[in-house]
Amino acid sequence: MRVSVNGEIREFKAETLTIDKILEILGYKTGIAVALNETFIVKTKYRDTIVKDGDRLDILSPIQGG
């Protein structure tokens, strides 16, 4: 399965994965926001939201500054 993650094409061996599983594979922990095909997904739905071949996943981390 090929998924665009933050603009970079990533290959996964499964045909479908959940957002939760992709975040685990990529090593993301807490403090992020996720958009699937330009729609933000509520954190409580990461475990139930399926990512399919060709989808676009944007993973955003907050930036601190002043």
pLDDT tens track of the chain, all 66 residues?
Answer: 999 999 999 999 998 899 999 999 999 988 899 999 999 999 999 999 999 999 999 999 877 766
Q: 3 near 56, Cβ under 8 Å? A: yes
pLDDT value of position 66: 62
Q: 29 near 40, Cβ under 8 Å? A: no
- Topology of domain 2-60 in CATH is Ubiquitin-like (UB roll) (3.10.20)
pLDDT value of position 6: 97
What are the angstrom distances between the C-alpha of 51 and each of 38, 59, 62, 66?
A: 13, 13, 23, 36
